[in-house]
Structure 1
Amino acid sequence: MPVIGLTGGPGTGKSTVAALLEELGAVTLSADAVAHRLLEPGQSVANAVVEAFGPQIVAPDGTIDRRLLAQIVFRDAEARQRLERLTHPAILAELRYGIQEARRTRGEDAVVVVEAPLLYEAGMEDWFHRIVVVAASFEEQMRRLTCRCGMSAEEAERRIRAQMDLGAKMRRAHIVIWNEGCLEEVKRRIVKIWPLLAGSV
């Protein structure tokens, strides 16, 4: 069963590419979606994060204020590493389980795509038959993060700088998708590489 890693920098369009691969029949798993579930009230990971970062990160409705937490950890490398130590083991375990479930429910013909922004940083390379990096220029990343996500320019740049250099990710990838054109152009590229991904075992 082909297992494909999908990564890239903030604002490069990883989720868009994941959604297009899903349209072609892939089973998609998202590390960010798993992280969001783990930070829901009552989850052991969420409790550990609140204990580590204090009650100020808890919103009035009892949920973790993810925007505030992000502001804290992207300003402080040590805080970011502390958050990763608390969350990454559970995220990786959930993703492994998702891959196993795809094999059990969809069989060996399934194509599983794991979208993981910190794929290289988390040491996940050996999980995958192919790794796809979605890339865009720094200027386009900044535009998307500020215009679409409502971040300040300073916040957006901190997010980008906090991750591994995009050029380094591209050099380690099997396939790079440059994502600055229209959606139809990206679709054409993905349709073109789909047979390679589906036959990756």
Structure 2
Amino acid sequence: MLIIGLTGGIGSGKTTVSQFFENLGTPVIDADHLTRALVAPGQAALCDIAEQLGNELILSTGELDRALLRQRIFEHPEQRIVLEGILHPRAREAALKQLAIFRDASSVPPYVILSVPLLIESGWTDLVHRVLVIDVAQAQQQQRASERDGLSAAQINAVISTQADRNSRLAAADDVIHNNADLQTLETQVKTLHQCYEQLARSA
């Protein structure tokens, strides 16, 4: 079973590309989804966040105040390191468990997509056989992130500054999707890669 690491900067289109792969029957493990599960009420990671970053980050419902956390990290970048120290090891462990489930299934898929925003930065490339980067110009990243999340230009730039730059991502890539046109063009690229990955899996 091939493991394809999917990554790209904020606003690059990882969710859309993942959906296109899922539409083709490919399993997708999304690190963002794993992380959201880790900070659900009552989870150990949420308790660690409250203990190390402040109880005010927990709402009266027991849920994480994501807006306040985003603001806190924007104003105090050093707290991002603390947060990543809490979440990244747990998310990696959860991803490994998901991969094991697919690998041990009675019908093993030819390949799996592991979508990780900080795949390169966090050193998760050792988990994958190929790195697939979604490439997009920074101006498009900013526009899409602003429209999707309602973030200010300063907040978006702060996120971009914590991620690998465009050249570093492309240097690490085995395959590249260029998300600078319409959805049909994007889907066509996914379908082409899908065929390639199935062929690679058969020949592995």
> Which bracket does the TM-score occupy, shorter chain normalised?
over 0.9
1 CA distance for matches of 2:109 and 2:148? 36
Q: Which residue of 1 aligns with 2:176?
A: 176
1:29 — aligned with what?
Answer: 29
The residue aligned with 2:92 is 92
Alignment of 1:13-24 (within 5 A): 13-24=13-24
3-state SS of 1:105 partner: coil
Once the two structures are overlaid, the 10-residue window that deviates more, 36-45 or 119-128, is 119-128
Distance 2:70 2:176 in 1: 28
Q: Which residue of 2 aligns with 1:48?
A: 48
**Separation in 2, partners of 1:109, 1:148:** 32
Conserved in 2, the CA contact under 8 Å of 1:103 and 1:110?
A: no
CA contact (8 A) 1:25 1:111 kept: no
Match of 1:68 in 2: 68
Distance 1:19 1:179 in 2: 14
User: RMSD of aligned C-alpha atoms?
Assistant: 1.3
Residue-by-residue CA offset, 1:134-158 (whole Å, 9 max, x unaligned): 1111110000111121111111111
Distance between the aligned counterparts of 2:171 and 2:90, measured in 1? 28
CA shift digits 1:57-81 (9 cap, x unpaired): 1123221111211222234332111
String of CA shifts for 1:52-110, please: whole Å, max 9, x gaps: 11111112322111121122223433211111111111100000000011112254443
Give the alignment's TM-score, normalised by structure 1: 0.95
Q: Is 1:144 matched with 2:123? A: no
Q: Percent identity?
A: 30
Residue in 1 aligned with 2:11?
11
Whole-Å separation in 2 of the counterparts to 1:172 and 1:69:
30
1:188 positional shift: 0.6
Amino acid at match of 1:56: E
Equivalent residue pairs, number: 201
